[in-house]
Chain A
Amino acid sequence: MSHSAKLVTRYTAPERVNHWFVTITFVMLAFSGLALFHPAFFFLTNLFGGGPWTRILHPFIGVVMFVSFMAFALRMLKYNHITPADKQWLARLPDIVRNHDDNLPEIGKYNIGQKYLFWTLIITIVLLLISGIVIWQPYFAPKFSIDMVRLAVLVHAFAAFVAIASIMVHVSAAIWVKGSVRAMTRGTVTAAWARHHHGQWYKEIAKGSGK
């Protein structure tokens, strides 16, 4: 941008720290978990100091991630209720993925894709915590029946798959939609970005009623 664009705040510093904390722990979990999921990924255990360390660290990181994720989700909850405008926006999805954004309905702080991601992660991360505890050696797994453990390991693998796939879409979208990453790194977006992608949210912050 040649001219100095007007900026608006999208994330406060505590929100950014929280988001990055969740990001780092989530990526560590995905790498350490996938390492045990398929032999093709076993080499990832090298990032964590070998197989036993990977096995030891993963669940502890999981609990830390869970707590920080829930703190973050609580901050974002009020922006993630699905509205009629979201549904109209969704109907235009084929245009949106082709970058044909003319006359899109104005939406709030998040679009419906982001809202679906929000709820998908809440469900899968709760499932991951519960099932993860059931299969956690040596502390908890011996306390559960063998069929519980078998079910839990299946639920854990499936929930992890959904969560990781969702996050891959989330990251792809952030790279695709130019001007988004700076919201995560610096907390600001340009006013034009806010108007274009989240018109209703922009109006609210312009009025000073929201943030």
Chain B
Amino acid sequence: MSMQSLDIQRRSATTTPSPDARQTLEVAKLIDVSKCIGCKACQSACMEWNDLRDEVGSNAGIYDNPRDLSDQSWTVMRFSEVEVQQGKLEWLIRKDGCMHCADPGCLKACPSPGAIVQYSNGIVDFHEENCIGCGYCITGCPFNVPRISQKDNKAYKCTLCSDRVAVGQEPACVKTCPTGAIVFGSKEDMIDHAQERIADLKERGYDNAGLYDPQGVGGTHVMYVLQHADQPELYHGLPKDPHISPMVGLWKGIAKPLMSFGLGLVALAGFFHYIKVGPKEVPEDEETES
């Protein structure tokens, strides 16, 4: 979807500036896990707005259904049963999907120009028509989000309803959530709103309640209010300190320009060596010897 082609702050595999004339407001979606009842209305709304239909799966004896993100399921509810306090069972339900990282590993890794863009409002979007299906975005993502379709070999993930946001609407999941667990607005407002919720949770005995806006990836444009922000792993393995893997950083950081430069240097060295010393020929006298 390129409805916002004027507002692109970053574009995959592109070394010149992106169309950046307009600055839009930085947005964020805030998911308050403590308010979520696991009804999956957001999953349905996502399917409906984006016209996606995953295969009807089978019941695995747990509530997670579909079992995983896919090219057709851009968000899934993850249910975790935990006992943080002895004898006090808690059902933590996290809406999983793309976090819309400020420093997106997917975009950093993608080799295809313009297959992944980041709008100036912070949304990270895949433009599937430019996708070559290499899977590098999966390699780069610290949250295990992108999925490659078996049908067309293109990568898909949550768009944060970039099409709706572009025309001033909230994402479909936000619109549909019956408990108000998902809210949307400017990133600043969402942080303020989260602080109120966290103060409330702390009053109710959740001393470690907090905001999940991991700075390792520069913050995210999908944030969580967690009851146990000190242990995000409880929420179906949400990483505590996510960052772009050092191996990906090395590969897409220093290695890329250095090795390209190195190859150029080898070519030039070969050429100028020849120009300087000339061809290596068998001396005339040896030539006639036989």
Contacts and interface: CB of A to CB of B under 8 A. Distances in A.
A42 to B, nearest CB: 6
B203 interface: no
A20 to B, nearest CB: 21
Interface in A84-112: 97-99, 101
Contacts of B282: 178-179, 190, 192-193, 196-197
A32 to B, nearest CB: 11
Interface in A144-170: 146-147, 149-151, 153-154, 157-158, 161, 164-165, 168-169
Contacts of B138: 141, 146, 149
* Most-contacted residue by chain B among A35, A51, A56 (CB, 10 A): A51
A1 interface: yes
B278 to A, nearest CB: 7
Interface in B137-166: 138-139, 144, 148, 150, 153
A12 interface: no
A197 B281 CA distance: 10
B132 A55 contact: yes
B262 interface: yes
Contacts, number: 145
Contacts of B273: 97, 172, 176
B142 to A, nearest CB: 9
Size range of the chain A interface in the assembly: 35 or more
B63 interface: no
A178 B281 contact: yes
Given A40-B260, A54-B132, A157 B251 contact: yes
Contacts of B255: 154, 157-158, 161
Nearest to A150: B247
Given A172-B274, A190-B287, A38 B256 contact: yes
B248 to A, nearest CB: 6
Interface in B100-150: 111-113, 130, 132-136, 138-139, 144, 148, 150
A195 B280 contact: no
B270 A168 contact: yes
Contacts of A146: 138-139, 144
Interface of A: 1, 3, 5-6, 35-42, 45, 50-52, 54-56, 97-99, 101, 135, 137-138, 141, 146-147, 149-151, 153-154, 157-158, 161, 164-165, 168-169, 171-172, 175-179, 190-193, 195-197
21 contacts: A37-B260, A38-B260, A39-B113, A97-B277, A99-B277, A137-B135, A137-B153, A138-B153, A146-B138, A150-B245, A153-B139, A154-B247, A157-B255, A161-B255, A175-B270, A175-B279, A177-B279, A178-B281, A191-B290, A193-B282, A195-B286
Interface of B: 13-15, 111-113, 130, 132-136, 138-139, 144, 148, 150, 153, 245, 247-248, 250-251, 255-257, 259-260, 262-263, 266-267, 269-271, 273-274, 277-283, 286-290
Given A45-B132, A196-B286, 7 more contacts: A36-B132, A37-B111, A50-B132, A141-B138, A165-B262, A171-B270, A192-B287
